[in-house]
Amino acid sequence: MAQSIRDQVAIVGIGQTAFGKGLADSELSLACQAISTALDDAAIAPGEVDGLASYTMELNREVDVARNVGLGDLTFFSQVGYGGGAGCGTVLQAAMAIATGQCHVAVAWRARKRAAKTSRPWAQVPARLADHWQWSRPFGLLRPVDEVAMLARRYLYEYGGSRDQLANVALAFRKHANRNPAATMYDKPLSREEYLNARWISEPLCLFDNCLETDGALAIVLAPAERAVDLPHRPVLVHAAAQGLPRQHQTMINYFNDDPLEGPSWAAARQLWRGAEFGPAEVKVAQIYDAFSPLVPLSLEGYGFCGRGEGGAFTEGGALEWPDGRLPTNTSGGGMSEAYVHGFNLVLEGVRQMRGTSTSQVDGADTCLVTSGEGVPTSALLLRN
Amino acid sequence: METGFVLPDLEAEDTAEFWAACQRGELVVQECAGCGRWRFPPRPMCPHCRSLEVRWVATSGRATVWSFVVPHPPLLPAYGELAPYNVVVVALDEDATIRMVGNLVATPEGPINEVDPTTIEIGEPVRVVFASVEDVMLPRWMRAPKG
Ligand SMILES: [Zn+2]
């Protein structure tokens, strides 16, 4: 059988734009700026790039990105579906392409002007629904937050969880953002009282259970591990990676199977750990997709940091907080407090932790889990240095 | 009378029969003609035996609340005017893994914001009713006596 991708490919460059609302630059310009910065960070010339990977929801086409940044002849370009589930999958596909010789230097990126109201997919519903949304939207279950809140209510009911546990998630990530000057919420502390008194968005979820609305772009550069040793930064190896689309899953409205609370994370996790030389207990720091706070306890369970129903309790005692928590998580602030760029900022923070350059650097961190969206067909990465 | 709701396409090949049954006041699911299993939402092939043959069977219309949410703005205008309202997922009495999204209402044609959301309980029994919205009959749910 074919080789494994384990440790064969490294992330050698990272780049990002400023994060904000209503940024003046176009989405294409933002993408090109992030990619250009990442190439400079890697000390690799644009003409060497022969592979690209991004999201199906990415609006910038490969042809336009390549014509602006001055990329070389592309021999691999792929897109991964399902919105926030795609992030780690783009890295996986780029790494597979390099490991199998389909390309030699790859860029993965995501650029988005999310804060534009028209970019919200739920605001663009057609007149009549012929797809799976006909089973939820006519009843006023319209937005991702409503769809996740439905699972969250059931989760809290089945396992006796509390809003305090969801607050643990929001507050931990905010504390990390308060240490990260690039984060949208850098100078905005959040108290438990503010969380508990915040306005509802979709009960049982309040404003602070939601990710930010962000304009911005991020990119990474991947190259063979043996080349990475000659490049400026400490190589960050893609140790293992996986996608996960479990049987009988329905994206976002996963109510129509035997066990809706066992989501895509479980399927991705089985493949991820099969490809790894270590397990959850050896993970020093995690970047967990957090479009909505309940996705974090669900993902903690799915990736095996605790058992079914224990994800809420796992968050207690500052477990997710730098520096002393048992699993410092979303150390740049995540989607809830740094920026929401479909989870791609989590990949870059994973790289910074492995380089030792995070603003909330975990001492001796040599392994990092990065995940993409729970509740949609997903993906995950294990990084090591 | 609600206007501006997001509504289903009543003529899509795989799902038209469900909505047609709603017009008759029936809540139906697909029963596989090959293996007899029920499935919802409707789809062309049975994932157990790959049969394309189905019978559309009427359910009892009895269910229990599996979960619920209470959306608040910002929402599409037609829904925002009614917010906060409830959205429920119910599990059918005949097969608790057959679930449907709907609304809990106080009367069959009543608005979706009439039931006090603080009184909704997971596990409470409900029965289907149908509400006309434009040319669609939407299945909704009313509280039912236990048992
Ligand atoms: Zn069958």
Per-residue pLDDT of A243-276, as tens digits, reads 999 999 999 999 999 999 999 999 999 999 999 9
- Residues near A203 by Cβ (< 8 Å), separated by ≥ 6? A149, A153, B69, B70, B71, B72, B84, B117
Nearest CB among A133, A134, A256 relative to B99 is that of: A256
Q: Is B134 within the bounds of a domain? A: yes
DSSP string covering A72-136:
---SEEEEE-SGGG-HHHHHHHHHHHHHTTS-SSEEEEEEEETTSGGG-GGG---SEE-SGGGGT
> Shortest CA distance to A209 belongs to which of A221, A224, A223, A194?
A194
Distance B67 CA to ligand 1 centre (A): 28
Q: Are residues B50 and B75 in the same domain?
A: no
Among the listed residues A82, A159, A289, A303, the single catalytic one is A289
How far CA A252 is from CA of A146, A147, A172, A317, A352, in Å, comes to 10, 6, 25, 30, 30
User: Does residue A299 surpass a pLDDT of 60?
Assistant: yes
Tokens read off for A30 = 């933002």
Nearest CB among B66, B103, B122 relative to A139 is that of: B103
Task: Tell if the CB–CB gap between A255 and B89 is shorter than 8 Å.
Answer: yes
A-B contacts at Cβ under 8 angstroms: 112
Instruction: Find residue B92's DSSP bridge partners.
Output: B63
Q: Which domain holds residue B34?
A: 8-58
The pLDDT assigned to A66 comes to 98
Nearest residue of chain B to residue A200 (CA atoms):
B72
Mean pLDDT of A211-221: 97
Q: What angle do CA A250, A251, A257 make, to 5 degrees?
A: 25
Q: Is B3 within the bounds of a domain? A: no
The pLDDT assigned to A268 comes to 98
- Residues near A196 by Cβ (< 8 Å), separated by ≥ 6? A163, A167
Angstroms from B26 CA to nearest CA on chain A: 16
The pLDDT assigned to A1 comes to 52
Mean pLDDT of A327-351: 98
Q: Are residues B76 and B98 in the same domain?
A: yes
Distance A33 CA to ligand 1 centre (A): 52
At residue A125 the predicted structure's pLDDT band, cuts being 50, 70 and 90, is: low
The pLDDT assigned to B78 comes to 95
Which residues does chain B have within 8 Å of residue A253's beta carbon, measured at their own beta carbons?
A: 101
Under DSSP, the state recorded for A309 is T
Amino acid type, B31: E
Q: Are residues B84 and B107 in the same domain?
A: yes
Mean pLDDT of A46-68: 98
Task: Tell if the CB–CB gap between B8 and A129 is shorter than 8 Å.
Answer: yes
This prediction's pTM = 0.97
Q: Is B1 within the bounds of a domain? A: no
User: Does residue A52 surpass a pLDDT of 80?
Assistant: yes
How far CA A19 is from CA of A113, A212, A334, in Å, comes to 10, 10, 12
Mean pLDDT of A188-204: 98
Mean pLDDT of A203-210: 98
- Residues near A158 by Cβ (< 8 Å), separated by ≥ 6? A261, A309
- Cβ-contact B95, B103 below 8 angstroms: no
Mean pLDDT of B10-36: 97
- Residue A159 annotated as catalytic: no
- Cβ-contact A221, A193 below 8 angstroms: no
Percent of chain B surpassing pLDDT 90: 96
User: Does residue A22 surpass a pLDDT of 80?
Assistant: yes
Residue A22 φ/ψ region, left for φ over 0, alpha for ψ in the -120 to 50 degree band, beta for the rest: left
Q: Are residues B119 and B64 in the same domain?
A: yes
Mean pLDDT of A48-66: 98
Angstroms from A365 CA to nearest CA on chain B: 39
Distance B34 CA to ligand 1 centre (A): 5
Please report which helix (H) or strand (E) contains residue A51, including its range: strand A51-55
Nearest CB among B9, B71, B75 relative to A134 is that of: B9
The pLDDT assigned to A127 comes to 77
**Which of A118, A133, A135, A145 to probe the B interface (max B CBs under 10 A)?**
A135
Q: Is B24 within the bounds of a domain? A: yes
Distance A97 CA to ligand 1 centre (A): 39
User: Does residue A106 surpass a pLDDT of 80?
Assistant: yes
Angstroms from A262 CA to nearest CA on chain B: 14
Task: Tell if the CB–CB gap between B6 and A200 is shorter than 8 Å.
Answer: no
At residue A33 the predicted structure's pLDDT band, cuts being 50, 70 and 90, is: very high
Q: Are residues B43 and B74 in the same domain?
A: no
Nearest CB among B69, B138, B140 relative to A203 is that of: B69
Angstroms from A278 CA to nearest CA on chain B: 35
Q: Are residues B54 and B40 in the same domain?
A: yes
Mean pLDDT of B57-82: 97
Distance B54 CA to ligand 1 centre (A): 9
Q: Is B22 within the bounds of a domain? A: yes
The pLDDT assigned to A271 comes to 98
The pLDDT assigned to B145 comes to 87
- Return the higher-pLDDT residue of B2 and A230: A230
Which residues does chain B have within 8 Å of residue A143's beta carbon, measured at their own beta carbons?
A: 71, 75
Tokens read off for B44 = 């062309």
Instruction: Find residue A381's DSSP bridge partners.
Output: A241, A370
Q: Is B90 within the bounds of a domain? A: yes
Reported residue count of chain B is 147
User: Does residue A123 surpass a pLDDT of 90?
Assistant: no
Q: Are residues B73 and B144 in the same domain?
A: yes
Question: A54 by DSSP, 3-state: which?
Answer: strand
Q: Crossing angle, helix A295-302 and helix A264-274, to 10 degrees?
A: 40
| Burial degree of A137 (CB within 10 A; 0-12, 13-18, 19+) | buried
Q: Are residues B71 and B135 in the same domain?
A: yes
Q: What residue segments make up the domains of chain A, in order of their start? A: 3-116+216-384
The pLDDT assigned to A6 comes to 98
The pLDDT assigned to A115 comes to 59
Residue B54 φ/ψ region, left for φ over 0, alpha for ψ in the -120 to 50 degree band, beta for the rest: beta
User: Does residue A116 surpass a pLDDT of 70?
Assistant: no
Task: Tell if the CB–CB gap between B6 and A248 is shorter than 8 Å.
Answer: no
> Shortest CA distance to A239 belongs to which of A280, A289, A277, A285?
A277
Angstroms from A336 CA to nearest CA on chain B: 18
- Cβ-contact A240, A257 below 8 angstroms: no
CATH code of residue B77? 2.40.50
The pLDDT assigned to A121 comes to 56
Q: Are residues B128 and B65 in the same domain?
A: yes
The pLDDT assigned to A5 comes to 97
Across chain B, which distance is largest between two alpha carbons, in Å?
A: 46
Distance CA A210, CA A191 (A): 16
Please report which helix (H) or strand (E) contains residue A34, including its range: helix A27-42
Mean pLDDT of A159-179: 98
Distance B33 CA to ligand 1 centre (A): 7
Q: Are residues B78 and B106 in the same domain?
A: yes
- What is the sign, positive or negative, of the torsion defined by CA atoms of A303, A323, A365, A91? positive
Nearest residue of chain A to residue B40 (CA atoms):
A256
- Residue A255 annotated as catalytic: no
What CATH architecture is A3-116+216-384? Answer: 3-Layer(aba) Sandwich (3.40)
The pLDDT assigned to A2 comes to 59
At residue A124 the predicted structure's pLDDT band, cuts being 50, 70 and 90, is: low
The pLDDT assigned to B132 comes to 97
Which residues does chain B have within 8 Å of residue A256's beta carbon, measured at their own beta carbons?
A: 40-41, 98-99
Mean pLDDT, chain A, integer: 96
Under DSSP, the state recorded for A161 is -
Q: Are residues B38 and B78 in the same domain?
A: no
Amino acid type, A15: G
At residue A230 the predicted structure's pLDDT band, cuts being 50, 70 and 90, is: very high
Nearest CB among A130, A205, A255 relative to B101 is that of: A255
Q: Are residues B35 and B99 in the same domain?
A: no
Question: B141 by DSSP, 3-state: which?
Answer: strand
Under DSSP, the state recorded for B25 is T
Angstroms from B145 CA to nearest CA on chain A: 22
Nearest CB among B41, B85, B122 relative to A256 is that of: B41
Please report which helix (H) or strand (E) contains residue A147, including its range: helix A144-159
The pLDDT assigned to A357 comes to 98
The pLDDT assigned to B142 comes to 98
Q: What is the CA radius of gyration of chain B?
A: 16
At residue A3 the predicted structure's pLDDT band, cuts being 50, 70 and 90, is: confident
- Cβ-contact A209, A352 below 8 angstroms: no
Distance B53 CA to ligand 1 centre (A): 8
